[in-house]
Structure 1
Amino acid sequence: MPTPTTPLSISEVADHTGLTVATLRYYERAGLMLAPIHRGSSTHREYSAEDVAWIVFLTKLRSTALPIARVRDYAELARQGDSSRADRLELLQRHRITVAGQLESMRTSLDAIDYKISLYSESERLSPA
């Protein structure tokens, strides 16, 4: 993780976050970053600790299947500062309901798989060798 005085290159951020360099560039082009990424004298991107923390949060949103358009909406709201807190809260609460439903669906599917495994395991124990 970069310190306030030691920025990371795009490849270091990719290594840290597990994202590709192409994905990091896409996040920037798509307007998902809170602020423009600083460019050093060599015009290479220099990511701050705040940039990396934001990217890690974006990966959490994306891992829950929040569409890019909604992530962009969230980023736009976040750039507005405290005046958008209620809107950000509502966006996240709505998404939480969706994620909770997905988790419940996965739990039900896992239960069905576990049931079948127990049936097959039992039949294996009972079948003659």
Structure 2
Amino acid sequence: MSSGIHSPGRTVELTGFSLDTLRYYERIGLIDPVHRAVGGQRRYSEEDVEWLGILRCLRDTGMPIAQMREYAEQARGGDETVADRLALLEEHDQSVAEQIELLERQRAKLREKIAFYRASLG
């Protein structure tokens, strides 16, 4: 097998997604139908793995599946949808920034409590 084509197992290693998730993403249209070998086993291209990397980023930053599907549909639309994709990603980026701010405030409270307990120990 060439280095540009990956087995499902290798794709799991490269992307961190489970086999079930890869099949689910294909079924709901987040990824295009995957090429299959003669025996029917899925074969993922470098482009598939790169796209899955984008999906991993979106998922890990909390983008809902519905928005991910919207983004995937827009990406299939070609250059005509660049402005829409940009707007969707900018909106998501703002949401991520707000989550980070919240987490930083909560972490400060947590650290205050840790300091309190450390001081009480001695």
Q: Quickly name the TM-score band, shorter chain normalised.
A: over 0.9
The correspondence for 2:50, drawn from 44, 48, 53, is 53
Does 2:86 match 1:92? no
Does 2:108 match 1:111? yes
Aligned to 2:79: 82
TM-score (norm 1): 0.89
Q: How does 1:32-43 map to 2 (within 5 A)?
A: 32-33=30-31, 35-43=32-40
The 8 Å contact of residues 3 and 48 in structure 1, kept in 2 or not, is answered as no
% identical equivalent positions:
43
Paired letter, 1:53 = E
Paired letter, 2:3 = T
- Alpha-carbon deviations, 1:3-26, whole Å to 9, x = none? 33xx11112111222211000000
Aligned to 2:15: 17
CA distance in 1, matches of 2:120, 2:43: 59
Please tell me the root mean square deviation across aligned C-alpha atoms, in Å. Answer: 1.2
Paired letter, 2:73 = E
Paired letter, 2:112 = Y
TM-score (norm 2): 0.94
Name the SS for the 2:115 alignment partner. Answer: helix
Aligned to 2:29: 31
Q: Which runs of 5+ in 2 are unaligned?
A: none
Q: Which has the larger radius of gyration?
A: 1
> What is the number of equivalent residue pairs in this alignment?
121
